[in-house]
Structure 1
Amino acid sequence: MIGKLPFFKLLFVLLLLSGIGLGLSAWVSEPKASPPNVVLFFIDDLGYGDLSCNGALGYTTPNLDRMAAEGTRFTSFLAAQAVCSASRAALLTGCYPNRVGIFGALGPGSPVGLNPEEETIAELLKEKGYATGIFGKWHLGSQQEFLPLQQGFDEYYGVPYSHDMWPLHPNQAKANYPPLHLIEGNTPGKEVKTLEDASELTPSITERALGFIRNHKKQPFFLYVPHPLPHVPLAASSRFRGKSSAGLLGDVMMELDWSVGQIMRELKQQGLDKNTLVIFTSDNGPWLNYGEHAGSAGGFREGKGTSFEGGHRVPCIIRWPGVVPAGRVCNKLLTTLEILPTVAKICGARLPKKTIDGVDMVALLKGDETATPRDHFYYYYRQNSLEAVRKGDWKLVFAHPGRTYEGFLPGKGGQPGPTTETHEFPVALYDLRRDPGERYDVREQNPEVVAALEKLAEEARADLGDDLQKREGKNVRPVGKVTK
């Protein structure tokens, strides 16, 4: 018995038992938590006011409202640029789109696309063992060398560009667009010929997303769902057609909310809910000249294709149970540029080797209200024109020609109303805290603010250039060009 052992033998036995205990303790310790999954919704032309939690009327978005109640809703969240391709390039690379050479909305057969040398969120997560899938609208180059499978995604199903770039475009000058095909991987598939075909976009994309979750539930995954709607032409499936009191737009919004609900429900059914970061946002504001077929900018000035808040400020909801505070509203300046560095940090991935413009917002996302990740933002548009700069709540708009919807009667029944692209906007300083509608120029009262913002603008011009001043930037990179 232990009590009769000599002292040194007793000590040896005790040390041996202690070592075995420590070994067993290490062996039975809890397994290391698996990396979180990431689901990123990127909705096309969704305005700030198009969710019922942001004030939408005539329909409700209960799944998104629930997501906001279970996560954090961001009220000063900006798309990096107020137009399709540029905004998507920024989201996936963490760069101002003009830094990577992407401008405007790339048309069918465009000889340029996102340069394969740029690193996307999908590529960074793929290095960490993530399965990567995109189901929806790509719009970063329709030539095969620019498609998602060449940009870090394992799976792709959707449309290569906006689904109004088809033979039924309401502007007959553009009716020579080629047929619009869904793409499966790298291969063109079914043609989207009619609005009835378009009405199946949301359901079919949703079903593919659900299948991706089921197929990859045992490994970490990055699921990117860039829904093509509510970009015109609007189309809702028979299940939702006529269900809202806000016309076809309301029906489309109800169906998009259903899609989010289906994906959230699938995550829960597969036991992935608590280990999945879900981000919901939009590529730019509403296309207002489409009238009742356009969404709402929520009271902000102008809409898609402008450097005013109605073009840039978009809904953003982020949910991750137990990590992102529930029922919280955050009013700090943030942008889609932040998504890449934030996701990379959360998932343990490296950052791109080349310069990016996004900043890590993990501390703020987790509830640290003292964190202020973004200090300022540059509003670029057209080819490479610096049209405004913001620091905190101050926004300096530079004199520039641009689109305006004001003073024009909007269209009806899916037909666009007139706009102008050459309205001359004057220099103006706005205090967005007191004047979010950008109506009152307060330059004369705040010369020191103007000077500080001009200094920031000069830094942007040196770095990225400015067509308005015929300046070339030192640190812009080439767009991808067709090599075949």
Structure 2
Amino acid sequence: MFLSCKQETKTTDTTTMEVEKPNVVILYLDDLGYGDLSSYGDLSSYGATELQTPHIDALAKEGLRFTNGYATSATCTPSRYAILTGSYPWRNKDAKILPGTAPLLISTEQQTLPKMFDAEGYHTAVVGKWHLGLGTGHVNWNEHISPGPNEVGFDYSHIMAATHDRVPTVYIEDGRVVGLDPNDPIEVSYSENFKGEPTAISNPELLKMKWHHGHNNSVVNGIPRIGFMKGGEAAKWKDDQMADHFLKKAQDYVKAHKNEPFFLYFGLQQPHVPRTPSPRFVGKSTMGPCGDVILEADWVIGEFMNTLKEEGLLENTLVIFSSDNGPVLNDGYYDQAVEKIGKHDPNAGLKGGKYSLFEAGTRVPFITYWKGRIQPKVSDAMVSQLDFYGSLASLIGAENNTLDSKDLLPVLLGDSKQGREALIMEAASRTALRKGKWVMIPPYNGLAINKQVNIELGNTSEYQLYNLFKDEGQKDNLATLKPGKLKEMIEYYERVIGGFDISQGSNP
């Protein structure tokens, strides 16, 4: 346990020493798959053969790589909710993929990760993707927007409201749109277009990127989006400058707060669609924009880590790297992601992907790095982003008063191999159970395959049971062959989903 920054504490021989609280940085990518990094190549026969990601690889090879690291959910908003609240997202019926006009998903009364850090004397910041809603549902984008990140514990915020492919396409800093011309006010709607405003359907000649499904509303920078937007021309972001923009904000934040303990949640937009790499990275991979933006994200991580090094912070900073859900190739735009995939397997042999209850939906790259504290190794322990709250509370000596988050700090630091016994996984409000080496997926109605993105969702009319130690690709459903194990898994799952007494330790 660490004490407050430069707080004096007495030792048994009456001498005093100074103990500094470590900085904490979460580097969170968007739609990055388990097989998208070359550093995970030696952990799977599938590997990232078409991509080399040397900067993220350096984190992995000098830190702790987890082979069983999970996001809570197979989509972005729920996973982000879990990190910041320490609560399973399926407990909140509104924790789904949100439109850009959604109200703030996290209650301002709710305990959050940044509030916990703040109470322990940390400065806190979020830079990059937010996608947890803003305001109360009727946002006036031309005034101060509240509540938002600042009202749930972040001292500083520089974000995009939702996603790269949704309006409003502007940056928001501490509740105000950056660069807004008051004579050109912003209007946003997810129900109907504004009179006379072009869309991808009415004005296809404006498009620089063709839409495949779901992205045919307002056109910004030649890219069709989800939702309708009018005004705010001076404030609109430049898509191919976004990586540089967020990197600079994260670097500036570190430099400004290097002399006090800080918590930074840095949400990169890559490799989410639309994939718009800087001109410096166009054509750097053989996979088109899909590969180019992963290489760009790798460069961003390298530049950010260089800043920590230059500012003398590596030895006192815990860095956690992961992704909000599994991969997807065609997620709404024609960008040759499918055609140029080559031998690359973003799933690394796992079944499913984004939106899916199968393993590739929630098992993601998961790395912890702390120079001089974490020793390089690979861990097979099961860990979840849900446990960031409980583990980081233990790190800085704070109270963990969350519902679901466990203290796995010894596991994240490489001092223990005893990870989670069990985890509830979620995809579009459907849930499944991983317990030990087994996965149980209950019956669900609905399409077996999302044909728009070509991903198996895990929906069948029968129970599914898989032994991941023998069948990581989930090819053999053992539900009928292992009735005793299936019964055990169902009973455990129903206890958790149906409610539990946290004092009895029955939560997975």
The TM-score range, normalised by the shorter chain, is 0.7 to 0.9
Give, as a single letter, the amino acid of the residue that structure 2 aligns with 1:296.
P
Give, as a single letter, the amino acid of the residue that structure 1 aligns with 2:400.
L
Q: Partner of 1:193 in structure 2?
A: 220
**Structure 1 CA distance, aligned partners of 2:398 and 2:304?**
25
Q: Is the 8 A contact 1:232 1:293 kept in 2?
A: no
Alpha carbons of structure 1 residues 81 and 337: separation in structure 2 relative to 1, 3 Å: same
Q: Does 1:273 align with 2:274?
A: no
Q: How does 1:27-46 map to 2 (within 5 A)?
A: 31-46=17-32
Alpha carbons of structure 1 residues 293 and 145: separation in structure 2 relative to 1, 3 Å: farther
Q: Does 1:155 align with 2:196?
A: no
Q: Partner of 2:438 in structure 1?
A: 394
Question: Following TM superposition, by how much is the alpha carbon of 1:190 offset from its aligned partner in structure 2, in angstroms?
Answer: 4.9
Give, as a single letter, the amino acid of the residue that structure 2 aligns with 1:188.
V
Q: Does 1:105 align with 2:97?
A: yes
TM-score (norm 1): 0.80
Moved more, 190-199 or 33-42: 190-199
Q: Is the 8 A contact 2:441 2:458 kept in 1?
A: no
Question: Following TM superposition, by how much is the alpha carbon of 1:444 offset from its aligned partner in structure 2, in angstroms?
Answer: 3.1
Residue aligned with 1:280, SS: strand
Q: How does 1:27-426 map to 2 (within 5 A)?
A: 31-54=17-40, 55-111=47-103, 113-143=105-135, 144-166=145-167, 179-190=168-179, 193-194=220-221, 197-290=238-331, 292-293=336-337, 296-326=346-376, 328-352=377-401, 355-369=402-416, 371-383=417-429, 385-386=430-431, 388-402=432-446, 404-405=448-449, 408=451, 417=453, 424=460, 426=462
**Structure 2 CA distance, aligned partners of 1:421 and 1:275?**
41
Q: CA RMSD in A?
A: 2.6
In the alignment of these two chains, the number of paired residues is 415
**Structure 1 CA distance, aligned partners of 2:52 and 2:454?**
30
Question: Following TM superposition, by how much is the alpha carbon of 1:448 offset from its aligned partner in structure 2, in angstroms?
Answer: 2.2
| Correspondent of 1:437 among 473, 476, 484 | 473
**Structure 1 CA distance, aligned partners of 2:129 and 2:397?**
27
Residue aligned with 2:95, SS: coil
Moved more, 118-127 or 397-406: 397-406
Question: Following TM superposition, by how much is the alpha carbon of 1:461 offset from its aligned partner in structure 2, in angstroms?
Answer: 2.9
1:8-34 deviations in Å (ceiling 9; x for gaps): xxxxxxxxxxxxxx99x967x5x4121
Structure 1: give runs of 5+ residues left out of the alignment.
1-21, 167-178, 409-415, 465-484
Question: Following TM superposition, by how much is the alpha carbon of 1:421 offset from its aligned partner in structure 2, in angstroms?
Answer: 7.5
**Structure 1 CA distance, aligned partners of 2:413 and 2:178?**
42
Residue aligned with 1:164, SS: coil
Moved more, 69-78 or 184-193: 184-193
Alpha carbons of structure 1 residues 153 and 439: separation in structure 2 relative to 1, 3 Å: same
1:354-374 deviations in Å (ceiling 9; x for gaps): x421211122233334x4231
Q: Which has the larger radius of gyration?
A: 1
Question: Following TM superposition, by how much is the alpha carbon of 1:449 offset from its aligned partner in structure 2, in angstroms?
Answer: 1.3
Question: Following TM superposition, by how much is the alpha carbon of 1:446 offset from its aligned partner in structure 2, in angstroms?
Answer: 2.2
1:295-322 deviations in Å (ceiling 9; x for gaps): 8122111111111101111000100123
Q: Is the 8 A contact 1:36 1:276 kept in 2?
A: yes
Runs of 4+ displaced beyond 4 Å: 402-406, 416-423
Question: Following TM superposition, by how much is the alpha carbon of 1:187 offset from its aligned partner in structure 2, in angstroms?
Answer: 0.6
TM-score (norm 2): 0.77
Residue aligned with 1:331, SS: strand
Q: Is the 8 A contact 2:318 2:369 kept in 1?
A: yes
Give, as a single letter, the amino acid of the residue that structure 2 aligns with 1:311.
G
**Structure 2 CA distance, aligned partners of 1:101 and 1:346?**
31
Q: Is the 8 A contact 1:158 1:182 kept in 2?
A: yes
Give, as a single letter, the amino acid of the residue that structure 1 aligns with 2:439.
K
Give, as a single letter, the amino acid of the residue that structure 1 aligns with 2:436.
G
